[in-house]
Structure 1
Amino acid sequence: MLKGMARRRLHFLGTMPQFPDARAAFSWQLGEEVRGQLRRLSGGETGPRLMWFVPLVKELKARPEIRAVRDGDWTSYEDTDLLTVRHGQRLHIPLRLAQYAAEDRAALASVVDGDPGLPLQVGIPGYLDMALFTFGPLGAIRHSRRFLLAVAEQIADIAAPDVVFQLEVPAALIAVASAPAFLRPAMANFMAYLVTRQVARAPEGSRFGVHLCLGDLGHRALRQLPDAGPLVLLANAIVRRWPDGRVLEYVHLPMSGGDEPPSTDGEFYAPLRRLREMPLIAGIAHELQDSGDQLRVRELVEQAVGRSVDIATNCGLGRRSAEEAERAVQAMLKLVAD
C-alpha cells in the first residue's frame, strides 16, 4: 500500500452467481470472510437478474406493440434479440428497478437487525445501453429519451440517503475506445454528456457510482483497450460534467474486458497519470492471471495514480460459473491485502 493512502476495499459490481438469492449474498458480505472490507452492499442480482437487463428485453418482446426483428438467447453478441416498435404503437417500458431494490431491502432486513452500517448498492443499467442493445442504433435514437425518463422515474422511487446507484454504461467506454485516436477526446465529452444526463435527473443529494465496462456477454468483451487512455478521457470528462448536488461515490475503471486478464506492461497504465481527482475503483482482479502478475498490475496502477485504489473485477461476475466467480473473489481478496 502506498504511504499515506487509505486502506483498499473490495467492490462487487452487482451479479454474484455463487449465491442462490440476495439473502445469501448479504449474509456472506456481512460475514467473517469480507467483513470490514466493503464500502457498499449488493444483493448479488441473483437468478434471472444475472443476465443484466435481458429479462426486460424478453418482457418487451412479449408485448403486442413490439415486433421481434431477430430472436436470440443472449449467449454472445451475435445471439441477441433485436426489437422494433410496431408502426403507430407507443413504447411502454416495464422497468422493475424499484421492485428489485425493495426486494433487496427486505432481504437485507432479514439478515441484519437495524442499520447494517453500509449503504445499499442498486445497479442501474444505462438508458442508452438498454435502448441501443434492445432496438439497435436507429431505435436507440428514436427511443433513448423514453428510456431516460423511465429510469429517472425508477431512481426517484428508490432514492434514499442509504442508497448508492451504480450506473452501468458499457456503450460509453466502447464508443470512446472504438473511435480513432484523434476523435476520442470529442467522443469522451459527448458520451460523458449522455451519461450525466441521467444523474442530473436524479433527486438532489442522490449518491452515484459509475461502472465503466467493455462488455461481458458470454464472458467476452465487445472491445479491448489499446491502453488506459480511453478510460482516462471518459472518466475525466464525466467528472468535469458531474451535476451539482449529486454525489460521485466512485468511478470503476476496467483495465481489461471479459476473459482477458489485465496487461502487465507499464506503458499500458501510463495515461492514468492524467486522471483528475476522483474516488477510484480499479477493475483488475482476474481469476485467469497468477497472483504475481496480479500484484504487478496493482503496483502499476497505484504508481500511476499515486495512491492506493479499491479493487474489483472488470465486470460483474454473472457471466462466470459459481466456481469461476469464487476464484475471482479470491483474486480480489489477495489484491486488497497490504
Structure 2
Amino acid sequence: MSTTSNRTIHPDISEPTIATRAVHFVGSLPPELLGNDHATMQWFLDNTRGTQLTTVPCDRDPRWIINWLNGLTDVPALESRRSGNSTGYDDMPTYRLAQGRSLAPEDVSLRRARDIPVAMATRLRLNTTGELPPHQVSIPNALDLSYFTFGAPRPALAALPIFREALLGDILEIHNRWDSEVVFQLETPAVLALLERTPRQFWRFLAGGLARQVADLITSAPQGARWILHLCHGDLAHRPLFEPANLVPAVLFLNALERRLTKVDYLMPTSHIPMCTGTSAPSTDRMFFRALSHLRTGVDIIAGVVDEGHPGESAIALRLAEEELDRPIRTIAAACGLGRRTPDAAVANARLARALAQTPVRH
C-alpha cells in the first residue's frame, strides 16, 4: 500500500461509474475493529480495494445512539419514564418532560460537529492507492431521535421541532466548515417501522406525512449540503424491528419525498433501501421487488442486498431488483451497518459486496 494522494474528490454520489457498481457502507463496524479513527477508515479502504467506494465513514461506536440516549439522564428537563439497558427494542430507556421544565435543542444535541475535525485530519494519513471519496457523517432523523427519547407518538411529535433544531445546528456547523468534503447520511428506521405498523389503506397518507417531515429537515439545511438517505429495518442486538413483506412502503415514501423535494428545487438524495434484514436471506421472490417498477426515475437507489450468509440469494435479489427497476442499480450495500456482526462476518460482507459490484450492470 502506498500513500499516493491525500486529496479528496467530490464525485456525484448519485451517478457512480457504471463500469462496475459502487459499494456503500452504512457506517458502523464491530467494536473489535474500532481501534481509532485511522483504523476505522482504513478498514473501509482496505476492504474495497479495486472497487469504487461512495464515502468513507467513521462511526466510532456502533452503540453511539444508545450512549446518547443513556446520557439524557443528565438533562434536567427530562425524567425517567422507563429504565432499560438497550439489549433489545423492548428494553430501551424512555423519558418524559419534567414538571415545569422545557426542553431546548442543546439538551438533546448529538454534538456531531465536535467529532469531525479529528476524522478530517486523520484522512490525510490514510493509505490509499486512489483518491478519497467524501467523509460520511451519520445524522439520525429528528423523528427517530424524538421517538427514541419519549417512546410514544404524542410527546415525540410535540418535541419534534426541538430535535430538528438540534440536528440543524450540527449540520450547519459541519457544512460551513467542510462543505462538499462531507456527505450527510440521514438515517431513519422510523419511516419503515411506522408504515409497517399502519393499516395498508393509510400508507399513502402516512408516506406523504413522513416525506414532509424528512423534506423539511433537508430543505432547512444549506442547499449545497450533500445527502444519502438510509432507510432501515433496525438492527439493535442484530435483530430487525420487523421482517418486510415487500418494498411497497419504501417506494411509497421515496416517491413522496422525491415529489416534495423536486417542487422546491432540491436534489433527491441517493437512497439506501434495505432489501433484507441481515438475519434472514434476501428474498428471491420477484413479487417482493415488484414495487420498484413504480419508483420515480428521479430516485437513485443503493440496493441493500449484501448478506454474507446468503451469497447466492444476494446475487439473485440484486438481479431481480434491477430487472423490476428497469434501469441500472449503480450502488450496493448491506441492509444496515456492520457494527453488530463479528469481525469475520464484516470482512465476509465486504468481500461479497466487492464480488457483487463486479456483476454485469443491467442496461
- TM-score where L is the length of structure 2: 0.85
Contact 1:74-1:81 at 8 Å conserved across structures = yes
1:145 equivalenced with 2:161 (yes/no):
yes
SS in 2 for 1:248: coil
Please point out which of 210, 217, 234 is paired with 1:191.
210
1:79 equivalenced with 2:79 (yes/no):
no
Match of 2:66 in 1: 54
1:10 equivalenced with 2:32 (yes/no):
no
Greater CA deviation, 296-305 or 19-28?
19-28
Please point out which of 96, 101, 123 is paired with 2:116.
101
> 5+ residue gaps in structure 1?
none
Contact 1:8-1:308 at 8 Å conserved across structures = no
1:271 equivalenced with 2:266 (yes/no):
no
Shift of 1:33: 4.1
Match of 1:23 in 2: 38
TM-align CA RMSD: 2.1
Distance 2:69 2:334 in 1: 26
Match of 1:252 in 2: 272
Q: CA 1:117 to 1:111, structure 2 compared with 1: closer, same or farther past 3 Å?
A: closer
Distance 1:176 1:50 in 2: 25
Distance 2:290 2:108 in 1: 42
Greater CA deviation, 177-186 or 29-38?
29-38
Distance 1:300 1:140 in 2: 38
Give the count of matched residue pairs.
Answer: 330
The equivalences for 1:215-226 within 5 A come to 215-226=234-245
Please point out which of 205, 210, 217 is paired with 2:229.
210
Q: Which amino acid aligns with 2:157?
A: I
Q: CA 1:238 to 1:195, structure 2 compared with 1: closer, same or farther past 3 Å?
A: same
Q: CA 1:250 to 1:337, structure 2 compared with 1: closer, same or farther past 3 Å?
A: same
Please point out which of 131, 152, 173 is paired with 1:157.
173
Shift of 1:167: 0.5
- TM-score where L is the length of structure 1: 0.91
Distance 1:187 1:7 in 2: 36
Match of 2:13 in 1: none
Match of 1:299 in 2: 319
Shift of 1:35: 4.7
Contact 1:228-1:268 at 8 Å conserved across structures = yes
Contact 2:281-2:313 at 8 Å conserved across structures = no
Shift of 1:317: 1.2
Match of 2:334 in 1: 313
Distance 2:306 2:53 in 1: 15
Q: CA 1:32 to 1:332, structure 2 compared with 1: closer, same or farther past 3 Å?
A: closer
Deviations along 1:188-210, whole A, 9 cap, x unmatched? 11111111111011012111111
Distance 2:47 2:97 in 1: 50
Deviations along 1:140-163, whole A, 9 cap, x unmatched? 122111000110111000111221
Contact 2:47-2:350 at 8 Å conserved across structures = no
Contact 2:137-2:185 at 8 Å conserved across structures = yes
Contact 1:67-1:85 at 8 Å conserved across structures = yes
Question: Percent identity between the aligned chains?
Answer: 32
> 5+ residue gaps in structure 2?
1-16
SS in 2 for 1:161: helix
Contact 1:5-1:307 at 8 Å conserved across structures = no
Q: CA 1:174 to 1:59, structure 2 compared with 1: closer, same or farther past 3 Å?
A: same
SS in 2 for 1:319: coil
Match of 1:328 in 2: 349
Deviations along 1:187-243, whole A, 9 cap, x unmatched? 111111111111011012111111011111111111222211111111111111126
Match of 2:135 in 1: 120
